[in-house]
Structure 1
Amino acid sequence: MPSLSNQNIYTVSRLNAEVRLLLENEMGIVWLVGEISNFSAPVSGHWYLTLKDSRAQVRAAMFKGNNRHVRFRPQNGQQVLVKARMSLYEPRGDYQIIIESMQPEGDGRLQQEFEQLKLKLAGEGLFAQTLKKPLPENPQRVGIITSKTGAALHDILNVLKRRDPSLPIVIYPTMVQGEEAAIQIAQAIGRANTRNECDVLIVGRGGGSLEDLWCFNNEIVARTIAASQIPIISAVGHEVDVTIADFVADVRAPTPSAAAELVSRDNSHKKQAFANYQHKLTSAWRYYVAQQKSYINQLQYRLDKQHPMYRLQRQQQILDERENRLKQAITHHLNDTRRHISSQEYHLQLQSPVKRIGEQKHALQIAQQKLNEAMQRKMMKSRYQFGLLAEKLDTVSPLSTLSRGYSITQTNKGKVIRHASDVKSGDQIVTRLADGELTSTVD
């Protein structure tokens, strides 16, 4: 049998601590979808719950520093998408997740797919500024890829008519919402490139929800825009709406009207060129900020893992669990006590004590009478015995001896004089009689 050193022998605490570190360091951040059950929100402000699907479940905790950002109140049975890090609850050895963000499954799944595709395409370099094609300074013909009945087309045409009525326009009508919209948008871009009749394209639509704009977050549309030989301006939604098409397009316009401003000619063409460069700079800056934010998040995550807050959170979780166990124990004890009292009351009612109380009262009266009589006899006997003892004591009492004519002589210090040699001439002595004392001086 091989010899074991102390370093090879684990305690349970050390094993759980190292497993927790392995989970947190190796797994990192995960996205998880599941149904909430066993939701609990103690007074500490933290949330504890179980996420499950049809075949498995996992314990989860969300501390108050993170759950205060959740815009809804979780309910048992609700489907959610969470961003979490793997961990281990060391006192019990339970594997668990620590939730950092939570959102309803529908919106959350779309946002997750958006972030995943964004990271994927960014990793392939489709957002790189070196791939961006410059817009023509004086476009000869403008192509518009949008819905023929949408407000976006109306806004673009109004701006172009006001700024440059002579500018030729080609409209490539397509759906901009629904399941088939992404394919139609990609086909329209391909058709415009095949015809090669325009030197700039505006691709977009009016504002809407994330689900309404989802076709512009489609990978096919993104790759088609990146492959286009004609410069493309992405003009999707309002200024606050951001799609994958905005990142991969050569220029992003905050609105369809702004896209029309970019391609139209007027006396302020220098201002337009400046705006164009400004938009490119903004896109480049946003991409740079997104990269730096991702890097900072990674550093922050590594820093957070060493933060004492996590230890406090784990200790708080232990405290919440023990508080819950204490409440359960108290409740169980109270229930047992109530059941015992109910059982005793039931048996007491079956054996009514009224008759027994009457009998006991009668017996108590008899016993009390006997006790009083015994006490009287005992006191009489004790008085008699006390008188006898008093007589005997009086017989041997020094006071009795004094009453018969004797006396006791003491020095002034209280010493009894038994011999003449106990005093000398000039000493004061005190003689105690039956009635009073005499003070004398020895001559």
Structure 2
Amino acid sequence: MFNTQKQHILKVSELTKKARFLLESELSVVWLSGEISNFIAASSGHWYLSLKDAKSQVRCAMFKGNNRTVQIRPANGKQVLVKARVSLYEPRGDFQLIIEQMTDAGEGLLQQKYEQLKAQLQAEGLFDHGYKQPLPSHINTVGVVTSPTGAAIHDILHVLQRRNPSIEVIIYPTLVQGEGSAQQIADAIYTAYERDEVDALIVGRGGGSLEDLWSFNEEIVVRAIFDCDIPIVSAVGHEVDTCLSDFVADMRAPTPSAAAELLSNDKAVQIRQFQTLTQQAQLRFESTLHRLRHALHQYQHRLSRLNPIAQLRLQQQHADELRGRLLQSLKDKYQYQQHVLTLVAQRLQHASPARNMASARVKQVDLTHALKSAMLRHQDSKHMRLSMLAQNLNVVSPLATIARGYSIARDASGKIIRRVDEVTMGDVISVQVSDGELKAQICDKSNGHSQLASRT
């Protein structure tokens, strides 16, 4: 006989409950990669499946509150990466996982790495808004860190040429994907910083998969952007793509073309404010959502220890409601900011100098006519005065006196002879009359007779 007097004998339900508590308290949340098998999508909306590898398999469940966010189609044989809570199904004593997130294995591993690095850099403060610089209000030169042969540089140059051809563009060529591309991107950013030849810097490329855009999630690129004192606009991929470079940059543009428009727009201040508010709202949304998810996980963990399935579903519903209210609040704030931007744009348009151009042109024409008339009157006045002065000059002119029958005698040096003692016998003098000049030689000074020598 077994001696059971000093031993506490457990019931099966007590054993399974203790085992479940130990599993959930010790392992909590895990990331797991494996192949789907025995997949069942129940009518309740829950998913049931097994994850296996070459040696083992484990049962899994994913409730409909979580599987709504899954972007892949689960199927037997598909390799996936899951985030799950380790648990135990007490009624059968089965070890199982409660899946919270599911992604494709390839992208899932990258996504996990993305989230881990994002959390690390965010904890270090690299994404804090206190470090972000405003874009310059007046931009003469723009630097672009991207592939010199990609579609992004053509889009940027096209937009800048169309919107503001006076902006000079300096390209810092680099690979944007593949081995060594992250180091090249970081080196190009440091080169632009050291040369100090641009007012703002665009760092980006065209769209692609998570793997294609991964260079802009590398820590070396994020830290290069953070270290650069030049205002940087991150323009990676399409609007739906978000890289870590977007969080650390001073401004994020949804596309390379949008980045060029942002730096060449006459309404740069208003757009910058709008983009900043949108980015702040997005970060606040992500932070709030992360906090709510964490709280939800804590609630689920506490409730799961008591196995209140109904209460768990109620908390999931409450979390969905909070998420909906948060999204609606974000949407309302976004619409309000959009309305404010529209009002500012209308005010700018109302204050545009183009409205006063027509009246200014009319005034310019009137002033031009008035100036021409004044110049003509002034010219006529000067002509009249010139005529009067000419008449007065003619009155006192010796030529007029000569014309009335007088003459002027000059010696050989051209000096006017005023007295008889100013000449001597034999001197040749010239006598100017109204129609010419006479040459004469002094032959007798007493009676003033002279001998005519020649006539000119």
TM range (shorter): 0.5 to 0.7
CA contact (8 A) 1:142 1:167 kept: yes
Provide closer, same or farther for how the CA distance between residues 200 and 12 of structure 1 changes in structure 2, counting only shifts above 3 A. Answer: same
1:311 aligns with one of 303, 309, 312: 309
Aligned to 2:255: 255
CA contact (8 A) 1:143 1:200 kept: yes
TM-score, length of structure 1 as denominator length: 0.62
Aligned to 2:354: none
Letter aligned with residue 287 of structure 2: Q
For 1:58 and 1:111, the matched residues in 2 are separated by 23
**CA deviation after TM superposition for structure 1 residue 310, in Å:** 6.0
For 2:280 and 2:216, the matched residues in 1 are separated by 20
**CA deviation after TM superposition for structure 1 residue 119, in Å:** 1.6
SS of residue matched to 1:81: strand
Moved more, 68-77 or 11-20: 68-77
1:279 aligns with one of 261, 275, 289: 275
Aligned to 1:236: 236
CA contact (8 A) 1:84 1:97 kept: yes
CA contact (8 A) 1:63 1:313 kept: no
For 2:155 and 2:32, the matched residues in 1 are separated by 41
CA contact (8 A) 1:235 1:253 kept: yes
Map residues 124-139 of structure 1 onto 2, 5 A cutoff: 124-139=124-139
Letter aligned with residue 262 of structure 1: L
Render the CA deviation track for 1:283-308: whole Å, top value 9, x for unaligned.
22221211111101111222334279
Map residues 167-178 of structure 1 onto 2, 5 A cutoff: 167-178=167-178
Letter aligned with residue 17 of structure 1: K
CA contact (8 A) 2:140 2:166 kept: no
SS of residue matched to 1:212: coil
Aligned to 1:122: 122
Alignment gaps of 5+ in structure 2: 313-456
Letter aligned with residue 150 of structure 1: G
Question: For this pair of structures, how many residues does the alignment match?
Answer: 307
Aligned to 1:362: none
CA contact (8 A) 2:36 2:80 kept: yes
For 1:73 and 1:262, the matched residues in 2 are separated by 38
Aligned to 1:197: 197
For 1:149 and 1:237, the matched residues in 2 are separated by 16
SS of residue matched to 1:197: coil
SS of residue matched to 2:113: helix
For 1:191 and 1:5, the matched residues in 2 are separated by 77
Provide closer, same or farther for how the CA distance between residues 179 and 15 of structure 1 changes in structure 2, counting only shifts above 3 A. Answer: same
Render the CA deviation track for 1:327-367: whole Å, top value 9, x for unaligned.
xxxxxxxxxxxxxxxxxxxxxxxxxxxxxxxxxxxxxxxxx
CA contact (8 A) 2:33 2:80 kept: yes
Aligned to 1:215: 215
Render the CA deviation track for 1:211-230: whole Å, top value 9, x for unaligned.
22221122211111111121
**CA deviation after TM superposition for structure 1 residue 130, in Å:** 0.6
Alignment gaps of 5+ in structure 1: 315-443
**CA deviation after TM superposition for structure 1 residue 97, in Å:** 0.8
Aligned to 1:356: none
Provide closer, same or farther for how the CA distance between residues 222 and 4 of structure 1 changes in structure 2, counting only shifts above 3 A. Answer: farther
For 2:297 and 2:127, the matched residues in 1 are separated by 26
Map residues 21-420 of structure 1 onto 2, 5 A cutoff: 21-40=21-40, 46-67=46-67, 70=70, 72-264=72-264, 268=266, 271-305=267-301, 306=303, 311=309
Letter aligned with residue 114 of structure 1: Y
Letter aligned with residue 36 of structure 2: I
Aligned to 2:367: none
For 2:311 and 2:102, the matched residues in 1 are separated by 18
Letter aligned with residue 237 of structure 2: G
**Larger radius of gyration between Structure 1 and Structure 2:** 1
Provide closer, same or farther for how the CA distance between residues 64 and 279 of structure 1 changes in structure 2, counting only shifts above 3 A. Answer: closer
CA contact (8 A) 1:84 1:98 kept: yes
Provide closer, same or farther for how the CA distance between residues 72 and 187 of structure 1 changes in structure 2, counting only shifts above 3 A. Answer: closer
CA contact (8 A) 2:146 2:173 kept: yes
Provide closer, same or farther for how the CA distance between residues 36 and 310 of structure 1 changes in structure 2, counting only shifts above 3 A. Answer: farther
CA contact (8 A) 1:24 1:86 kept: yes
For 1:302 and 1:115, the matched residues in 2 are separated by 20
Letter aligned with residue 298 of structure 1: H
For 2:235 and 2:256, the matched residues in 1 are separated by 5
For 2:64 and 2:279, the matched residues in 1 are separated by 35
SS of residue matched to 2:230: coil
Provide closer, same or farther for how the CA distance between residues 24 and 159 of structure 1 changes in structure 2, counting only shifts above 3 A. Answer: same
Letter aligned with residue 283 of structure 1: Q
CA contact (8 A) 2:174 2:185 kept: yes
